[in-house]
Amino acid sequence: MAEHTHDDHYHAPGLQHQFDDMDQQMDSVTIGMWAFLVQEIMFFGGLFTAYLVFRNKFPMAFAAGSNHLDAFWGGLNTLVLIVSSLTMALAVFYAQKGNRNLQVIMIILTMVFGSVFLGVKVVEYTGKYQKGQIPVDGWNKVIKEGEVEKAEAFTLPFETKASAASEGKEKIPNPTGAFQITDDDIELVLSHKKILTDSEKIGYFDDVITDRNGNVVSFGELNREKLKDKIRLFFWIYFVMTGLHALHMIAGLGIMLWLLYKAWIGTFSAEYFAPVEISGLYWHFVDIVWIFLFPLLYLLGKHFLAGGGGH
């Protein structure tokens, strides 16, 4: 329904007083959102740059760390966010059509998928806490000497459960809640010694001898603590990048909650739908960031487990 000002001039629904018309307002808010997204790209770009620099320096340690991440959960979250982008796009479409009911449904579905994503992250982070893979000593689960795991670990419906698991098995002691690596991490590095970079030889081993050009000519035994520091670096990057992404998702859910209220009271119409469209840009950006995070963090190094990479 058209609104009228005190001088009886037509005032389009949703038009703010500082703009001449809806086109000018739409252009302004769109430019504002893209300016915000550009600085977000620069923000995440710095984190991706740090990831690439350290991965190039210590690729095998990053592969070992990546192999501790569950690609099923990462893949599930990828699918969830892709579908949420579809529902967000449909929310914009139905806002443009002035269809209140379908608009509300699509916003609710978008919020549901976003919540599922965060729920999966809670499952993943809990697993890292229990396995001693949070990179801060003392922040992991304390496991006393001789402590026995009585309950079976979570398994997918199609996975085979070991019969011995019901009898309980002794956990790896971690009395101080320190960051942990496994013997499999060490075996992965040792079984690929021929393809290690010089930076890795210096970073993982003791008694490293280099020539005048800095090239490694010989090295001694693997130093577990030195390797642990490099794998810890991977998990620092993992938690910073996925944690900040999760915070952006929480902010997105807050925006969706506001949109839901506005849509419910019939604020948006074919004449005024800019908030839905602009919010959609933010939501799609958060989804795209995850599309890059998933392969870089979860799929890195999986081919080494399959025997690739050379021995």
Low-confidence ranges of the chain (pLDDT < 50): 1-8, 10, 151-152, 158-166, 308-311
Q: What is the pLDDT of residue 245?
A: 97
Q: Are residues 134 and 252 in the same domain?
A: yes
pLDDT tens, position by position, 130-168: 999 999 999 999 988 777 665 445 555 544 444 444 455
Q: Is the same domain home to 152 and 300?
A: no
Is residue 246 assigned to a domain? Answer: yes
Quote the pLDDT of residue 91: 95
Q: Do 55 and 123 belong together in one domain?
A: yes
Residues 130 and 238 in one domain: yes
Total of domains in the chain: 2
pLDDT at 158: 47
pLDDT for res 60:
94
Structural domain boundaries, residue 57? 47-138+232-305
Q: Do 148 and 99 have their domain in common?
A: no
Residue 30 has what pLDDT?
Answer: 74
Do 170 and 111 share a structural domain?
no
In a domain, residue 134? The reply is: yes
250 shares a domain with 146:
no
In this structure, the answer to whether residues 121 and 169 fall within a common structural domain is no
Q: Are 179 and 173 in contact (CB under 8 A)?
A: no
Of 157, 176, 195, the residue that ends a domain is 176
Amino acid 147: pLDDT: 74
Q: Is residue 5 part of a domain?
A: no
Q: Do 242 and 265 lie in a common domain?
A: yes
Same domain, 301 and 153: no
pLDDT for 156: 54
Q: Is the domain of 290 the same as that of 163?
A: no
Strand partners, 170: 148
- pLDDT at residue 305, rounded to an integer: 59
For residue 4, being part of any structural domain is answered with: no
Residue 273 inside a domain? The answer is yes
3-state secondary structure the chain: CCEECCCCCEECCCCCCCCCCHHHHHHHHHHHHHHHHHHHHHHHHHHHHHHHHHHHHCHHHHHHHHCCCCHHHHHHHHHHHHHHHHHHHHHHHHHHHCCHHHHHHHHHHHHHHHHHHHHHHHHHHHHHHHHCCCCCCCCCCCECCCCEECCCCCCCCCCCCCHHHHHCEECCCECCCCCCCCHHHHHHHHCCHHHCCHHHHHHHECCCEECCCCCEEECCCECHHHHHHHHHHHHHHHHHHHHHHHHHHHHHHHHHHHHHHHHHCCCCCCCCCHHHHHHHHHHHHHHHHHHHHHHHHHCCCHHHHCCCCCC
CATH at 84: 1.20.120.80
Q: What is the pLDDT of residues 60-83, one digit of tens each?
A: 999 999 999 999 999 999 999 999
Would residue 212 count as lying in a domain? no
Do 148 and 292 belong together in one domain?
A: no
> How much is the pTM?
0.84
Whether residue 184 lies inside any domain: the answer is: no
Has residue 98 been placed in a domain?
yes
At 9 the pLDDT is: 52
